[in-house]
Structure 1
Amino acid sequence: MKIAVIADPHFHDIDYRQGVGRGDQVAVRTLADTNASTRVFNESFHATKALLDDIVRRGISLVVVAGDLTDDGQQSTMVAATALLADYSRRFGLRFVATAGNHDLYAIHGRHQSKRFLNTDGSHTLVTSDPAMEQGDSVERIVSDEMYCGGYGAAIPAMGAYGFFRSEGDLHWECPFGTDDRLEARAFEIVSADGRTVRRMVDASFLVEPVEGLWLLCIDANVFEPKDGDLDSRLEKSYHDSTDAGWNSMPRNKGFVLDWMKDVAARANAAGKRLIAFSHYPIIDPLNGTSADEAKLLNDTSFLRRTPGAEVSRAAAATGIKVHFSGHLHINDTAVFRDGDDWLVNIAVPSMVGFPPAYKIVEMDGERLEVETVIIADVPGHDAAFPYYRIEAARERTSAAVTEAENHADFLSRHLAEMVRHRYLPKEWPRDLAALVPQLNLGDLDRLAGTTVPLTSGDAFTFLASAGEPDAPDWQGLPLFEMVVDWYRLRKGREVALDFIDPARIAAYRHLAGRFAAGAWPEGCLQDRLASFMQMMMDWLASAPSRDFSVDLATGEVTSKNHLGRTVLRQTGSA
């Protein structure tokens, strides 16, 4: 049996504008919001279908969804997304098993959502479920209940066909509370940090045996911890968002789930069942040990806030679940955690709305788990929103270079460059380094590595002016900005990113990393910080196999399947 594991479809219906209707007005989100986001919006409409079509072509019938099926849990979006999966189930016999992500629901009562939609003249309209939301610079505001994101009571029944409740054909079904699948039987008390506020919350974890011998352990790692104080339980601000909490909050707030996981793993082993676990959030550090370097270089980033601590990974490994699939971060990664005889492999599944666009195919082969990463580069209709983006860009006098993309994968690669420009550099990088990035090239870095004098970012231009122009190979003219974009490509894609980066660039990066690593730099100087930046890139190049590999289910050893003949799909500029 083969299983497809997908994550973070973030499905958005570009044919339907909430509060207006289908076909009455454009339902395309703005390019400005897309460029500033960690994901694209409009492209999910065709990308999700292309993904499912690929699964059907391969003859796979069981599909695991590791969270964030919907754009942001909006009521009408949930209806459209579940209708799409129901259509594939009806036409092709696909069986979906899912867990809820942080974008699918919010606590018990849900929360408001507000989105900007393009008009045909390039202006935008704000559609919101919140009557108090200001119109901002939109030309119009529409208030619609269809924009509201539901809580557990609304979202889980909407996705109920995906294993959240017992199905007639299931060979086994249970949850941490027993075999009663009613939501009211799956509630628990969650307490604020000061111990004074107690809420009733639902846990939507479940175990299902859809086919003989296969146990799918679906863990609800969403944690909505109440904030201190007597706050209105119906309001979003009354809870700590699960987005950054994830597994770090599980031992404290949902320890009963870890106890249940341990019991399930023991029973699976005793009964000879193949157990695969998945949740929306990574359970092991997805940065493969480079978190300390990232903290040193960039301080507080969204990746670091969402990185599970070692104690959490240790507790998870002690349950004996062995293999866990995750989504959330939109990255392609394999991480292994060992603690004595305990071990755990976390396989991070990419998204079709973030670089790189891919999913995983899993096959049991004796005592090994075989994993294949499938890139979906070509998506029919990938450019459906491009005409609207060009009109918007002309109106706002901004760049629409992303619309020059040749296919969906190229679009996402270009989008990543825009994210670096509009999000990562201005919001996550220290100001002095962010200011240097657009002004330096690799030749400048080579000269900075060649001096024994430690420099500050402010000294860099004075030094470079005095150092003169180098007699150097062509690669030295490559802008540092391009290297930073490739840094993020490797950070998100690992092995898969090599399909999108010219091998000559990789050789240049290795050369520079070696030059900086050979220096003895005082901590905190410019060269020391650049050395950390490059060392992280080298660590990702040498990280555990993340493309096509196998996991020894007895030892946790991860073995790569050589991917020979790799070619660059496209070397993307970032103009």
Structure 2
Amino acid sequence: MKIAVIADPHFHDIDNRQGVGRGDRVAVRTLADTNASTRVFNESFHATRALLDDIVRRGISLVVIAGDLTDDGQQSTMAAATAVLADYSRRFGLRFVATPGNHDLYAIHGRHQSKRFLNADGSHMLVTSDPQMEQGGSVERIVSDDMYCGGYGAAIPALVDLGFFRRKSDLHWECPFGTDDRLEARSFEIVSADGQTVRRMIDASFLVEPVEGLWLLSIDANVFEPRNGDLDPTLEKSYHDSTDAGWNAMPRNKGFVLDWMKDVATRAEALGKRLVAFSHYPVIDPLNGTWADEAKLLNDTSFLRRTPRAEVSKAAAATGIKVHFSGHLHINDTAVFRDGDDWLVNIAVPSMVGFPPAYKVVEISGERLEVETAVVSDVPSYDTAFALYRVEAEREGTSAAVTEATGHADFLSRHLAEMVRHRYLPKEWPQDLAALVPQLCLGDLEILAATAAPLVPKDVPSLVASSPITGTTMLQDLPFFEMIVDWYRLRKGRELALGFIEPARIAVYRHLAARFAAGAWPTGSLQDRLASFMRMLSDWLASAPSRDFSVDLVTGEVMPRDHLGRTVRRQTGSA
């Protein structure tokens, strides 16, 4: 019994510029928007097909999609994405079972979307569903309903063939409300924090048995809680976005789903069914215990806001679902939560539009779940948009270095570096640290680690200027920025990142981490903050398994597998 689990395809149709028509102008998003995003846009068009082709080559017919099938839920994009899946179902017999992501729909009424598309001369036009949206720096503006992202009532019916409704071939189908699959029978009341505003919302969770003995539990962990006040229910701003809420909002707003999960798990065990649960959001801290260090280094980041709290993981583990697959964060990670006799394994699935490009192959064998991480580096036509990127960069006087990529995986690795430059450092790092980064090399970090007196960032330029680096090597001259990029590669890819980082660099990083670990500085000092940075890097290098492993479905033990697929027993605990 083998399943492919994919997450966050974020499919974008580069053949169709919404509102303009297919064929006359391609729909290539700008490089500027791409570099500032946590994902790439245009490359999803070919990457999705390469991913599905890899699944077909492996002879797998059952595919789980852990949310965010579409770019941003635009009506035309939704139609194009589901058409691709229908084509693979028709030609290769693939069966898709999905859960909705935060990019696939929004609350009940939906929300506007606006995107910038490149013209042949490097300028861009704005296509929007919002008549009030200003044109900005675009040379043209087009208003089109095709750009609108639907709510539950529009998006879930558009995903009709992905398990949200009963199929004749299903051996079993149910939802938290019973066996009626009509959307009007699957609504519930959701209340604002002050208790004054009540809305009817749809929950799209379901349980399906597509083949004998396998239960797939799709959990809709989107929570669109009304904001306080008597606001217009049709407006986006009237709801808290599910993007940051995730599982942290589930117990208070969707407790009935957790009750149903417990009932499903109990019945699955009694009936001898193999239960595989999935939702869009992680239900266990994906940072593997480095949360406190990240909070110390970076304060409040989107990643930290999206981290499930321990009490939420405890509530999910108490349901007895045992194994849960998630997407959303575009990372490769396996985490284990234990509370007495309760345990839960969360397997975070990477995306083909963020580093590293991969998915999970799951095989159920007796009392074991065998998991392989399949990297898809070869994407034909990965460089389709590169020519337009170069024209845009020349027009704007910016860099098109990402177009020097030698393949899809290399492009995503380079995109991550641009994301660090354009998004993470300026938007998530404290200003004093972000300003210091371009001034330092790894040799300077060695000096800081050897300085016993606590420092603040403004002390550093004069200190390193008066403390020349002895025995200078190429790696000691490596910019600190490059180490930060590798830090993010490890944060997102764990073991998979090692193929993109020179072993010599890893050795130097370990050395620097050891130097900072040996020191002791007051909390809040520069060295203390850098020690947190180094400690996280060390933890990610040591965390295993992240690629190929087995889950003991009786004990919850997670054990790595060697290159021959043999299980290597290790001590139980966080993975």
TM-score by length of 1: 0.98
Residues in 2 aligned to 1:434 and 1:563: alpha-carbon distance in whole angstroms: 40
> What are the Cα deviations for residues 522-568 of structure 1, in whole angstroms up to 9, with x where unaligned?
11111111110000011111123110001010111111113499xxx
Aligned residue in 1 for 2:76:
76
Aligned residue in 2 for 1:134:
134
Q: CA deviation at 1:23?
A: 1.1
Q: Secondary structure at the match of 2:394?
A: helix
Q: CA deviation at 1:318?
A: 0.2
Residues in 2 aligned to 1:185 and 1:470: alpha-carbon distance in whole angstroms: 72
> What are the Cα deviations for residues 132-183 of structure 1, in whole angstroms up to 9, with x where unaligned?
0000000000000000000000100000111000001000000000000000
Amino acid at match of 2:181: D
Aligned residue in 2 for 1:274:
274
> What are the Cα deviations for residues 185-206 of structure 1, in whole angstroms up to 9, with x where unaligned?
0000000000010000000000
Residues in 1 aligned to 2:28 and 2:448: alpha-carbon distance in whole angstroms: 46
Amino acid at match of 2:61: S
Aligned residue in 2 for 1:568:
none
Residues in 2 aligned to 1:537 and 1:92: alpha-carbon distance in whole angstroms: 42
Q: Secondary structure at the match of 1:474?
A: coil
Q: CA deviation at 1:26?
A: 2.2
Residues in 1 aligned to 2:62 and 2:69: alpha-carbon distance in whole angstroms: 16
Residues in 2 aligned to 1:472 and 1:251: alpha-carbon distance in whole angstroms: 55
Aligned residue in 2 for 1:42:
42
Residues in 2 aligned to 1:394 and 1:84: alpha-carbon distance in whole angstroms: 34
Aligned residue in 1 for 2:449:
449
Residues in 1 aligned to 2:261 and 2:302: alpha-carbon distance in whole angstroms: 28
Within a 5 Å distance, the mapping from 1:412-561 to structure 2 comes to 412-561=412-561
Q: Does 1:260 align with 2:268?
A: no
Within a 5 Å distance, the mapping from 1:153-172 to structure 2 comes to 153-172=153-172
Amino acid at match of 1:228: N
Amino acid at match of 2:170: D
Aligned residue in 1 for 2:573:
none
Q: CA deviation at 1:399?
A: 0.2
Amino acid at match of 2:551: V
Aligned residue in 2 for 1:290:
290
Residues in 2 aligned to 1:348 and 1:20: alpha-carbon distance in whole angstroms: 38
Q: CA deviation at 1:451?
A: 1.8
Residues in 2 aligned to 1:526 and 1:163: alpha-carbon distance in whole angstroms: 52
Residues in 1 aligned to 2:182 and 2:370: alpha-carbon distance in whole angstroms: 35
Across the aligned residues of Structure 1 and Structure 2, the Cα RMSD in angstroms comes to 0.9
Aligned residue in 2 for 1:396:
396
Aligned residue in 2 for 1:570:
none
Amino acid at match of 1:176: P
Amino acid at match of 2:308: P
Q: CA deviation at 1:315?
A: 0.1
Q: Secondary structure at the match of 2:362?
A: strand
Aligned residue in 2 for 1:122:
122
Residues in 2 aligned to 1:455 and 1:251: alpha-carbon distance in whole angstroms: 43
Residues in 2 aligned to 1:155 and 1:493: alpha-carbon distance in whole angstroms: 31
Residues in 2 aligned to 1:162 and 1:216: alpha-carbon distance in whole angstroms: 12
Q: CA deviation at 1:94?
A: 0.2
Q: CA deviation at 1:468?
A: 1.8
Within a 5 Å distance, the mapping from 1:28-67 to structure 2 comes to 28-67=28-67
Amino acid at match of 1:362: V
> What are the Cα deviations for residues 500-537 of structure 1, in whole angstroms up to 9, with x where unaligned?
11111111000000000000111111111111000001
Q: CA deviation at 1:324?
A: 0.1
Q: CA deviation at 1:474?
A: 3.0
Aligned residue in 1 for 2:311:
311
Within a 5 Å distance, the mapping from 1:218-237 to structure 2 comes to 218-237=218-237
Q: CA deviation at 1:469?
A: 2.9
Residues in 1 aligned to 2:191 and 2:520: alpha-carbon distance in whole angstroms: 49
Aligned residue in 2 for 1:370:
370
Amino acid at match of 1:14: I
Aligned residue in 2 for 1:572:
none
TM-score by length of 2: 0.98
User: Where has structure 1 moved over 2 Å in runs of 4 or more?
Assistant: 562-565
> What are the Cα deviations for residues 391-438 of structure 1, in whole angstroms up to 9, with x where unaligned?
000000000000000000000000000000000000000111101111
Q: Secondary structure at the match of 1:59?
A: coil
Within a 5 Å distance, the mapping from 1:559-570 to structure 2 comes to 559-563=559-563
Residues in 2 aligned to 1:163 and 1:334: alpha-carbon distance in whole angstroms: 26
Amino acid at match of 2:83: A
Residues in 2 aligned to 1:474 and 1:138: alpha-carbon distance in whole angstroms: 44
Residues in 2 aligned to 1:149 and 1:6: alpha-carbon distance in whole angstroms: 22
Q: Secondary structure at the match of 1:102?
A: coil
> What are the Cα deviations for residues 112-137 of structure 1, in whole angstroms up to 9, with x where unaligned?
00000000000000000000000000
Q: Does 1:192 align with 2:192?
A: yes
Q: Does 1:239 align with 2:239?
A: yes
Aligned residue in 1 for 2:568:
none
Aligned residue in 1 for 2:347:
347
Q: CA deviation at 1:455?
A: 1.1
Amino acid at match of 2:386: F
Residues in 2 aligned to 1:330 and 1:477: alpha-carbon distance in whole angstroms: 31
Q: CA deviation at 1:472?
A: 3.4
Residues in 2 aligned to 1:562 and 1:443: alpha-carbon distance in whole angstroms: 36
Amino acid at match of 2:312: V
> What are the Cα deviations for residues 313-337 of structure 1, in whole angstroms up to 9, with x where unaligned?
0000000000000000000000000
Residues in 2 aligned to 1:269 and 1:259: alpha-carbon distance in whole angstroms: 16
Residues in 2 aligned to 1:240 and 1:451: alpha-carbon distance in whole angstroms: 46
How many residues are aligned here? Answer: 565
Q: Does 1:216 align with 2:213?
A: no
> What are the Cα deviations for residues 243-277 of structure 1, in whole angstroms up to 9, with x where unaligned?
00010000000000000000000000000100000
Q: CA deviation at 1:447?
A: 1.1
Amino acid at match of 1:52: L
Aligned residue in 2 for 1:331:
331
Aligned residue in 2 for 1:250:
250
Q: Secondary structure at the match of 1:476?
A: coil
Kept in 2: contact 1:544–1:558 (CA 8 A): no
Kept in 2: contact 1:335–1:544 (CA 8 A): no
Kept in 2: contact 1:26–1:120 (CA 8 A): no
Amino acid at match of 2:415: H
Amino acid at match of 2:495: E
> What are the Cα deviations for residues 323-362 of structure 1, in whole angstroms up to 9, with x where unaligned?
0000000000000000011000000000000000000000
Q: Secondary structure at the match of 1:46?
A: helix
CA spacing shift, 1:93–1:564, aligned 2, 3 Å: closer
Residues in 1 aligned to 2:546 and 2:288: alpha-carbon distance in whole angstroms: 11
Amino acid at match of 1:528: D
Q: Secondary structure at the match of 2:475?
A: helix
Residues in 2 aligned to 1:529 and 1:198: alpha-carbon distance in whole angstroms: 44
The unaligned stretches of length 5 or more in structure 2 are 566-575
Kept in 2: contact 1:50–1:379 (CA 8 A): yes
